[in-house]
């Protein structure tokens, strides 16, 4: 199976083609074909993972072009990194696709959704298997396209259309930076394949500040795709898309592609002098982790809170990779995929039940939607790093690697962990505890066939994936546990990097911070010892700063729409008056010339006679003078 792993992306691609061609006529209006495609891919992915754990590897190459004497080869690689990603994407995407059958039921554009979903799955799997910069860039662009299509799925809503455009354009900035980086690499190493490039770099073909520049430029693509500061602005707005989209693309897979890229091209960062590139990665990750967490505390939209949480957790992954915690970062990626997907699907279930995203209008859902509530809470415990849930193991490894490398980065991560517990506690309290504050959820024309009244649990097709993901969220962490010999680290590690020795004191501090965050949430929201209103009045400027997202969006609008707009207007004026003016001038001159020359043709032969003799005179004068 490993040797033929390149077939795996083709399964959802075939589903996409079938649904596009004959969508509404297929069984389940396209949904079953899409599910079949991804489930088969998921099973194949698990098989490949098993084989790779057993030691199988694969590297399939084709010659793409011949430049001069050197052929450029492209192909697929199956190694532990791509195998674990294959399996994760396969499983999570399958569960989300099944869930979508329930969530998108009744939507008039049902087949189109599953077509796009399958296209995205193909793109992501293709990206994962790439063994060269060309394929990874192609996959990069494809997932960007699918993200645009899916965020703007309900394109009749202007907010959704704008959000899709914002996502595409913001990631485009990152993609451009990545392209420059790839070109620099190609120029100096003469190849696009990862193994050849890394060998050249070890041999010194690309070194010093130029290597750092290339690495940072490639990281730029990851900054865009993984919504790191300063290109993080698109992810909160991307929540306009349907919730399964948010779960799949903007929590588990596409945004993880940036982390995967850094892991795949790790030698680029390792060989840069003084690990300068790694420092950039780590600090951007750390700053993002903290800043995103601060913004999550003041959001009232359940999906937006989770979006900021995703940005923050991606920051942790980058932080982990940046402090030489290769295994820690990848482990956090895998665990985060499961519990964040669970959180989003749970949020979708909630939204499906109450027909609103605003947590201030929810409440009391723990009794009304028990399966949703308890799986959500399990995922939250994983996210905030409470043992023995999955996130505890992975986040703690990241923080340990940071502590050993740079205390400042550890401080950023720790502060972020405190805030994570705070905003998630706040979210849980408003959403699930207390009594229901909202109105009749079926008053709106959203869900079909429901009896009016109070919100109720979602159908089985949505709840079962929640339960399956919850199992992963609870137990997956043990794959990286020290006490069990850390099998994950044995599987995924970078040759030459030793894992950080476990620091028991640090472990206790991490748990304390997470619990402190929960306690703070309880103090503010549950027992109201320091109610949120008084916090807001004590530091209104802080509140404004957070609600306005540090004014980053406003700044970008001012720069690009303001300054850029001025440039555009100038260019428009220039085009209209100078360029067009020049053309109009030529026309005007021709007209004036014609108007003037009219008088030569009088129609009277006395004039013509005169002109004849005038001509003779002129010719003779010219002949005499010259």
| Shortest reach from residue 624's CB to another protein, in Å | 7
Burial 390-419 (b: 16+ CB within 10 A, else e): bbbbbbbbbbbbbbbbbeebbebbbbbbbb
Residues 310-349: x where in contact with another protein by CB under 8 A, - otherwise, as a string: ----------------------------------------
Asked if 606 is part of the footprint of another protein (rule: CB under 8 A), the reply reads yes
Identified binder of another protein from the candidate list 595, 605, 625, 626, rule CB under 8 A: 605
Residues 270 and 328: beta-carbon distance below 8 Å: no
Other CB atoms within 10 Å distance of the CB of residue 154:
16
Q: Any idea what DSSP says for residue 1?
A: -
Asked if 610 is part of the footprint of another protein (rule: CB under 8 A), the reply reads yes
Residues 86 and 45: beta-carbon distance below 8 Å: yes
**Is the Cβ of residue 541 or residue 599 nearer to another protein in the bound state?**
599
| Shortest reach from residue 568's CB to another protein, in Å | 51
Residues 6+ away with beta carbon under 8 Å from 43: 90
Q: CA-to-CA distance for 284 and 398, rounded, in angstroms? A: 15
Residues 548-587: x where in contact with another protein by CB under 8 A, - otherwise, as a string: ----------------------------------------
| Shortest reach from residue 595's CB to another protein, in Å | 17
Asked if 25 is part of the footprint of another protein (rule: CB under 8 A), the reply reads no
The tokens describing 160, both together, are: 């959704």
67: enclosing H helix or E strand: strand 58-67
Asked if 62 is part of the footprint of another protein (rule: CB under 8 A), the reply reads no
**Is the Cβ of residue 534 or residue 607 nearer to another protein in the bound state?**
607
Asked if 624 is part of the footprint of another protein (rule: CB under 8 A), the reply reads yes
The tokens describing 197, both together, are: 């490039």
The tokens describing 426, both together, are: 């706040």
**Is the Cβ of residue 498 or residue 605 nearer to another protein in the bound state?**
605
Query: What's the residue count for the chain?
Result: 626
Residues 188-227: x where in contact with another protein by CB under 8 A, - otherwise, as a string: ----------------------------------------
| Shortest reach from residue 589's CB to another protein, in Å | 26
**Is the Cβ of residue 563 or residue 609 nearer to another protein in the bound state?**
609
Pairing status of strand 70-78 against strand 58-67 = antiparallel
44: enclosing H helix or E strand: helix 31-53
Asked if 607 is part of the footprint of another protein (rule: CB under 8 A), the reply reads yes
Stretch in the footprint of another protein (CB under 8 A) among 178-186, 355-363, 526-534, 617-625: 617-625
| Shortest reach from residue 625's CB to another protein, in Å | 11
Strand residue runs (E) in 489-542: none
Transcribe 211-243 into DSSP letters: HHHHHHHHHHHHHHHTT-TTSTTHHHHGGGS-H
Asked if 598 is part of the footprint of another protein (rule: CB under 8 A), the reply reads no
Q: Could you list the residues that contact another protein (CB under 8 A)?
A: 603-607, 609-610, 613-614, 616-617, 620-621, 624
């Amino acid at each position: 199976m490993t040797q033929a792993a390149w077939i795996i992306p083709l399964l959802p691609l075939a589903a996409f083609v079938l649904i596009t061609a004959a969508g509404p006529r297929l069984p389940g209006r396209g949904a079953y074909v899409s599910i079949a495609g991804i489930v088969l891919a998921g099973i194949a992915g698990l098989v490949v993972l098993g084989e790779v754990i057993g030691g199988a590897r694969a590297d399939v190459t084709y010659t793409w072009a011949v430049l001069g004497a050197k052929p450029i080869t492209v192909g697929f690689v199956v190694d532990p990194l791509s195998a674990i990603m294959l399996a994760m994407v396969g499983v999570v995407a399958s569960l989300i696709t099944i869930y979508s059958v329930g969530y998108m039921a009744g939507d008039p554009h049902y087949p189109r959704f599953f077509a796009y979903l399958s296209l995205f799955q193909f793109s992501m799997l293709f990206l994962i298997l790439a063994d060269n910069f060309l394929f990874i860039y192609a996959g990069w662009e494809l997932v960007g396209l699918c993200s645009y299509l899916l965020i703007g799925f309900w394109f009749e809503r202007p907010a959704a259309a704008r959000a899709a455009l914002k996502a595409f354009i913001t990631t485009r900035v990152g993609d451009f930076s990545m392209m420059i980086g790839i070109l620099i690499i190609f120029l100096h190493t003469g190849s696009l394949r990862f193994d050849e490039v890394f060998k050249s770099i070890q041999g010194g073909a690309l070194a010093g500040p130029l290597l750092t520049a290339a690495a940072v430029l490639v990281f730029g693509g990851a900054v865009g795709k993984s919504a790191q500061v300063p290109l993080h602005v698109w992810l909160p707005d991307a929540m306009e898309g349907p919730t399964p989209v948010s779960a799949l693309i903007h929590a588990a897979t596409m945004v993880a592609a940036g982390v995967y890229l850094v892991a795949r091209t790790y030698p680029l960062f390792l060989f840069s002098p003084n690990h300068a590139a790694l420092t950039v990665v780590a600090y951007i990750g750390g700053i993002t982790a903290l800043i995103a967490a601060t913004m999550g505390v003041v959001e009232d939209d359940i999906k937006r809170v989770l979006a900021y949480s995703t940005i923050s957790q991606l920051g942790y992954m980058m932080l982990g990779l940046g402090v030489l915690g290769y295994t820690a970062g990848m482990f956090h990626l895998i665990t985060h995929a499961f519990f964040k997907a669970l959180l989003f699907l749970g949020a979708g279930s909630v939204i499906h039940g109450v027909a609103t995203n605003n947590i201030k209008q929810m409440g009391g859902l723990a009794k009304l939607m028990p399966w949703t509530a308890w799986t959500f809470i399990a995922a939250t415990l994983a996210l905030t790093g409470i043992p023995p849930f999955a996130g505890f193991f992975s986040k703690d490894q990241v923080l340990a690697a940071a502590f050993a490398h740079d205390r400042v980065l550890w401080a950023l991560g720790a502060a972020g962990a405190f805030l994570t517990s705070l905003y998630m506690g706040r979210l849980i309290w408003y959403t699930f505890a207390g009594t229901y504050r909202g109105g009749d959820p079926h008053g709106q024309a959203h869900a079909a066939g429901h009896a009016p009244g109070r919100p109720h649990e979602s159908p089985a097709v949505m709840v079962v994936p929640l339960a399956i993901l919850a199992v992963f969220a609870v137990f997956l962490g043990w794959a990286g546990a020290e006490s069990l010999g850390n099998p994950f680290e044995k599987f995924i590690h970078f040759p030459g990097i030793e894992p950080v020795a476990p620091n028991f004191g640090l472990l206790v501090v991490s748990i304390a911070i997470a619990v402190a965050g929960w306690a703070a949430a309880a103090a503010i929201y549950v027992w109201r010892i320091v109610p949120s209103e008084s916090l807001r009045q004590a530091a209104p400027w802080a509140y404004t700063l957070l609600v306005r997202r540090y004014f980053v969006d406003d700044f970008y609008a001012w720069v690009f729409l303001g300054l850029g707009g001025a440039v555009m207007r100038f260019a428009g004026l220039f085009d209209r008056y100078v360029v067009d003016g020049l053309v109009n001038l030529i026309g005007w001159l021709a007209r004036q010339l014609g108007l003037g020359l009219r008088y030569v043709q009088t129609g009277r032969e006395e004039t013509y006679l005169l002109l004849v003799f005038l001509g003779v005179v002129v010719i003779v004068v010219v002949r005499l003078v010259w």
